[in-house]
Amino acid sequence: MSFRARSKTTIVLAGLVLTVSGCVAEAEPAGVSETEPEVSAESEDIAVVAGSDDYVILYSGRAESLVQPIIDVFTEQTGIEVDIRYAGTSELAAQVLEEGEQSPAAVFLSQDAGALGALSDAGLLAELPESITSRVDPEYSSRDNSWVGVTGRARVIAYDSETVALEDLPTDVDDIVSPKWSGKIGVAPANASFQSFVTAYRVIRGESAADQWVSGLVMSDPQKYDKNSAILEAVDAGEVSLGLINHYYWYRMASERGGDQMRAQLYFLPAGDPAAIVNVTGAAILQAQSSDLDASSLVEFLVSDQAQEYFVTTTFEYPLVPGIGAPEGLPELAELAVGDFDLSDLRSIATTQELLRTYGLIF
Amino acid sequence: MTITRAARAAPRWLVGLSLLSVSLVSIPLVYVVWRAVDVPLSQFTTVLMRPRVQELTVNTLGLSLAVALSALVLGVVIAALLSRVRFRAAASLLLISALPLAVPSYLASYGWLVAIPGLNGFVPSWLLLTAVTVPYVTLPVAAALRGTSAEGEAVARTLGLGPLRAFVDVTWPQVRPAAVAGALLVFLYTLSDFGLVAMLRFETLTWGIQQSFAASFDRSQAAILALLLVVIALVVVAAERSARGQVVTSRAKLATREPVGVVTRTLALLIVLAPPLVGVVAPLAGLGARLLEAQTLREIDFSRLGLATGATIAVSALAALVALVIALPLAALAARYSGRGVGSLETLGYLPHALPGIVVGLSLVFFSLAVLPPLYQTTAVLVFAYAVLFMPKALGTARSSIEGVSPDLVNVARTLGARPFSAWARVTLPLALPGLGIGALLVAIATMKELPATLLLRPTGVNTLATELWSRTSAGEFAGAAPYAAILVLVAAIPAMILSGVRRTAKEEL
């Protein structure tokens, strides 16, 4: 074959490959789910109702290994196919903000309330029906019905059991910034849950006390990390003595390494302490898809008893629906401090961030 | 020896094609400017004046310069050792020296954190980044050395110069373009890296950009920081052009290898093996240690592993092809013609490489929804994103390999009656093909490791090895992550190994 013919063939083949792969990708069925949805009598009933096509796209800031199994159950029960896009919550939020009205997603499952607040402020979230919002205690959901809390995570202290005795542990949040812990505390100041805790401190104990606490923290030379999991690893390696994290990280690590084997152990501050507040994960429906009944079915399922129990047993997070028991060994949700503040109030979070920025804890 | 760059005006069709290439890869730049312009000027200056921003800028600059310099020196030294010292397993050594390319930077840092949990700050970031990027210098320089004549060096030796001096005076000018081009890639890579510096808690501008998205959901602030990155890149890319020098072609002859004493050879071996040990062996050992620690060894889902591997290979092959096609006009232009216009076009082609993956990803979300909504979240846009992200990796080697083909050969073809494009396609292109292949392979490897843009743009439900790895590590399942990490490094090692065997240009027998 002459050079000219060879190059022509190559170009044509390359073009074909590009087109074919593009078509194949578009025709991809629901992600990794292997269960074939059965067209049962139930799903036929749903199909008759207007605004339902048995298909919904979910953007999940929560990990696939956690979310996929329970969504598979949902698909099995309702026949609604769910295509799930997994990524970090803040990246997904940035993506949805960028997509705007053109977002293909119908439901957004978020790791924290801040992201939901950002989407709500941009006017991208639909008002949730009462059948959904009534299931969860209003303290754990948005004030304007734009999102609903799904699970709760308590702020705790992970401590190095080899070098710290139980008696020495702080009994109050202010003890954390005392000189004896200087250089030995691990925090993730950029993390949403840490910022929620500081916001709670501001609300519960006042702005000047909060200012004092943050400056005290900076003076004790804390070790800064990007993620809670990194803090826990550091505590487990003896790098720091105390780490401010969310409770379930410890349980997750314990399931991989064995709780008794671990150097890091958990400690809950007494109820009423700002450092013991509960953050939430949440779900919302995007405004552009507000008429899609499949979307509301999905969110309703996430706050159903079945899904709540799943979260309790799989991630050791707190259920937010009354009547479901807290994970074993953990204090009851009602016992933990709940500040009277909106978890997704970005203006308040922005003030917290300014405070942290002043003291150089975040950028 | 012929100087190959001409002062005459470039043909219009070539300039037109190059303009097209540059405008395609400038999409992220347009997006960054678009978002940054959203911000009122007062807020703009407030952000820039913040002491933390200045700290981040200094960190970024310092780290990138340090890594580029150390990679340059180490890369040239290793390439020189590999080509001039008589090793017993020379070919395998070259292969091994290419392996750090296959390890994603976030994997390298994770593995080291397992071994030394408190590891953080400038020095570990600098050393680790050097280890994983030094092949960007080693491979092109080694290829250049293969293509250069050792006669000049031999003559210098007979005139009384020591081996080192002979190398510096005679051979270095011949490999300088390749070395400096490689160092530029290292600089841009370090500018845009996020995974490694985040894990080692060294705060740079990319970290600041991530914080802008994650903490304040402020895309405009992120854009301002991204603009800073672009400005830094602009200065350095312009500097590289002046430092590059001109490629000189010569008849290639095999260089003689020096016999050396055992001590010197052992020392040389240690230097050559240092980056693979630091950048490949140690991280994989760390991951392996985590794997052994795990109490729940989950079963490997081979079908998922297979799907992810297939997807990874497919998109990286496509991305390499598209990147090469986009790079070609620009490379051809910059190789043969000089002038300010050509210079600016080439510079623009490099700039987007300084942007972190999340910015490029978001820019293409914005762009594809604005221009071609049906293509959003399809493989086509994903491949295009990779091409935009990594085209500069192909640009440098494409340019220098085209430069390395003597225009005399094309002129001969013209005198025999071939038309300009035909002569170019039938003479220059096949001879430059090995070098173009290097560029394509570099793009393929980079695509396999890419994460943030992939997470944003992949078709829902499609996974690459990198996204599967991320999915498991972010859920804390290190046991489940290990097989994906291993396969990722294995798959990326294949093009890396091919790379080590490719010559810069085909030998000319004239």
> DSSP letter string over B162-178?
-HHHHIIIIIHHHHHHH
Per-residue model confidence as pLDDT tens digits over A55-104: 999 999 998 888 999 999 999 999 999 999 999 898 899 999 999 999 99
pLDDT score of B2 more than 50: no
pLDDT at B43: 83
Interchain CB distance below 8 Å, A90 and B214: yes
pLDDT at A30: 38
Cβ-Cβ contacts under 8 Å, A102 against chain B: 369, 373, 376
Structure tokens, B237: 């890319």
CA distances (Å), origin A107, targets A42, A50, A233, A280 = 22, 18, 33, 17
Per-residue model confidence as pLDDT tens digits over A229-249: 889 999 999 999 999 999 988
Strand partners, A57: A83
Closest residue in A to B363 (Cα–Cα):
A98
pLDDT at B145: 81
d(CA B145, CA B454): 36
pLDDT at B23: 93
Interchain CB distance below 8 Å, B459 and A252: no
Confidence band for B116, pLDDT divided at 50, 70 and 90: confident
Confidence band for B322, pLDDT divided at 50, 70 and 90: very high
Q: Which amino acid is at B381?
A: V
Cβ-Cβ contacts under 8 Å, A234 against chain B: 117-118
Structure tokens, A138: 């209003």
Q: Which amino acid is at A96?
A: V
Q: Is A340 helix (H, G, I), strand (E, B) or coil?
A: coil
Q: Chain B: give the shortest CA distance to residue A332, in Å.
A: 25
Of A231-235, A319-323, B298-302, B335-339, least confident by mean pLDDT is: B298-302
pLDDT at A143: 85
Helices (H), chain A: 3-26, 41-48, 64-78, 89-99, 113-121, 130-133, 192-205, 207-219, 228-236, 247-257, 293-302, 305-315, 346-358
d(CA B410, CA B423): 6
d(CA A216, CA A179): 9
The span from the first CA to the last CA of chain B, in angstroms, equals: 13
Average pLDDT rounded to a whole number, residues A322-334: 80
Of A35-39, A86-90, A259-263, B438-442, least confident by mean pLDDT is: A35-39
Which of B375, B471, B478 is the closest to A64 by Cβ? B471
With an 8 Å Cβ cutoff, is B365 touching chain A?
yes
Task: Report residue B23: phi and psi, to 5°.
Answer: -65, -35
Q: Chain A: give the shortest CA distance to residue B365, in Å.
A: 7
Which of A83, A87, A230 is the closest to B456 by Cβ? A87
Per-residue model confidence as pLDDT tens digits over B118-151: 788 999 999 999 999 999 999 888 877 876 666 7
Q: Pick B378 or B401 by higher pLDDT.
A: B378
DSSP assignment of A156-224: EEEEETTT--GGGS-SSGGGGGSGGGTT-EEE-TTSHHHHHHHHHHHHHH-HHHHHHHHHHHHHT-PEE
With an 8 Å Cβ cutoff, is B298 touching chain A?
no
Interchain CB distance below 8 Å, B117 and A17: no
- Which helix (H) or strand (E) segment is A284 a member of? strand A278-285
Average pLDDT rounded to a whole number, residues A48-57: 74
CB of B327 closer than 8 Å to CB of B398: yes
Confidence band for A41, pLDDT divided at 50, 70 and 90: very low
Interchain CB distance below 8 Å, A94 and B462: no
Q: Is A356 helix (H, G, I), strand (E, B) or coil?
A: helix
Structure tokens, A345: 């109030």
Interchain CB distance below 8 Å, B378 and A22: yes
CB of B86 closer than 8 Å to CB of B257: yes
% of chain B residues with pLDDT over 90: 38
Determine how many CB atoms are found less than 10 A away from the CB of residue B6. Answer: 12
CB of A119 closer than 8 Å to CB of A66: no
Whole-structure pTM value:
0.83
Average pLDDT rounded to a whole number, residues A15-42: 42
Cβ-Cβ contacts under 8 Å, A93 against chain B: 213, 217
Average pLDDT rounded to a whole number, residues A332-354: 72
pLDDT at B495: 87
How many contacts, defined by CB atoms under 8 Å, are there between A and B?
158
**Measured on CA atoms in the order B495, B499, B505, B509, is the torsion positive or negative?**
negative
Determine how many CB atoms are found less than 10 A away from the CB of residue A52. Answer: 21
CA distances (Å), origin B315, targets A89, B106, B205, B454 = 25, 21, 29, 10
Per-residue model confidence as pLDDT tens digits over B172-219: 887 888 899 899 999 999 999 998 998 888 989 998 898 888 777 778
Q: Is B258 helix (H, G, I), strand (E, B) or coil?
A: strand
Average pLDDT rounded to a whole number, residues B79-99: 84
With an 8 Å Cβ cutoff, is B380 touching chain A?
yes
Closest residue in A to B54 (Cα–Cα):
A363
With an 8 Å Cβ cutoff, is B302 touching chain A?
no
Average pLDDT rounded to a whole number, residues B346-352: 88
ipTM of the complex: 0.84
Chain B stretch 174-203, residues whose beta carbon is closer than 8 A to a beta carbon of chain A: 198-199, 201, 203
% of chain A residues with pLDDT over 70: 83
Q: Chain B: give the shortest CA distance to residue A192, in Å.
A: 7
d(CA A87, CA B310): 21
CA atoms within 13 A on the CB side of A206: 3
Interchain CB distance below 8 Å, B475 and A95: no
Burial level of A120, CB count in 10 A (0-12/13-18/19+)? buried
pLDDT at A302: 94
Per-residue buried b or exposed e for B109-140, using 16+ beta carbons within 10 Å of the residue's own CB: bbbbbbeebebbeeebbbbbbbbbbbbbbbbb
What is the overall mean pLDDT for chain B? 85
The alpha-carbon radius of gyration of chain A (Å, integer) is 23
Of A23-27, A138-142, B399-403, B500-504, least confident by mean pLDDT is: A23-27
With an 8 Å Cβ cutoff, is B295 touching chain A?
yes
Q: Biggest alpha carbon distance in chain A?
A: 85
Interface test with A, best of B113, B216, B228, B471 (most A CBs within 10 A): B216
Closest residue in B to A86 (Cα–Cα):
B455
B9 DSSP assignment: P
